[in-house]
Every structure is written in C-alpha cells, then in structure tokens.
Structure 1
Amino acid sequence: MHPSLTGSPSPGHGLLRCLRRDDLAARLGGDELLVMVFGIQDLANAEALAETILIAAAEPIDSLMQQADQAMYEAKRLGRNRLVPLQPPAAVLERPT
C-alpha cells in the first residue's frame, strides 16, 4: 500500500494529507489539479491513491482559498497586475490562547 494512504495526516488541505514530501501537487485553476506521485509500484496502488485524492479534492475549499480566488478575479477585473488585499474573516485572525 502507498505510504501516503497509511501515514498520519499533515496540516493543510485534504489533498496534501494524501501526498508524501517528494510528491507534487499543483492547482492549475478552478477545480483542475495536477498530481505527480513517484514510486508507485503497481496499478492497484495507483488506483487506490487516485481514489483517495478524488475524495480529498471533493472536500470543500476553505474560506481563505475562496477569498483568494475572489481577490484574484477582482484584480483581473480591475485590469490585471494589481494587488487586491485579502481580508480574512475575524475567526481566522483570532489565535487560540
């Protein structure tokens, strides 16, 4: 079995919990993802990992990612090559004591 399927989850997006340090993931745009996984030994392991990635990618995108997308589209609407500050919700700014 692929080590990323049995390892403990790392912080961050669900997709990143499926991958190992040397694997690569890139968001190409919208819901398009590119994932490069090295060292897969057989098709069964590749299929199991792909299914796990599909499930993780279906998790809701967190609010910061949605806000980043909104800021990007606003910058494009204003003529590109612009900075549109991201205003995270207050809950994100609060730190546990």
Structure 2
Amino acid sequence: MTKKIFLFAALILAASSAFAQGNGMAGITEATSMVTSYFDPVTKLIYAIGAVVGLIGGVKVYGKFSSGDPDTSKTAASWFGACIFLIVAATILRSFFL
C-alpha cells in the first residue's frame, strides 16, 4: 500500500513540474527583453556622468595649474583616465550584453 501511495505522489509531482515548465521560456524571454530595454538609458546616463566628471576634473586641473602646483599633469591624467574609463566601460558593457 505504501508503494502505491509513493508512486502516486511521484507521478503527481512529475506532472505538476511538467505543467510548470510550460510558461518558463516565455518568462525568460520577457525578462531578457526588459533587461535589454534598460541599456540605452543607462548608457546615456553613464555618458552624462562622464561629461560631468570631465568638467569637474577640468576645473580642478585648471585650479592646480593656476596655483602653480607641480602635480598638475598627474591630476590631469587621473581625471582624463576616469572619463575614458566611463566611456569605454559603458560601450563595452553595451556591446557585451546586446
């Protein structure tokens, strides 16, 4: 009797998991389209952040240059590198995921 109950329970579980898989592919496709729809606004946001960082860096480098600080080239290189990194990272992530 316990074997029959165990077999019946196993069949019910197998049938319910088969019914549950029917809509899984549609859910994955919908999630993929939702995630990829965010890439254009996020890429534009990262470009805007890079522009603001570049402006702030330009003002800071100008301030150091005007005051005669000998460390101006190092500061300019670090700010410029940060802007280039933001632009390249946004472009590579977009091309990698799309």
What is the TM-score with the length of structure 1 in the denominator?
0.25
Q: Which one has the bigger strand percentage?
A: 1
Q: Which has the higher contact order (CA 8 A, sep 6+)?
A: 2
What is the TM-score with the length of structure 2 in the denominator?
0.24
Q: Which one has the bigger helix percentage?
A: 2
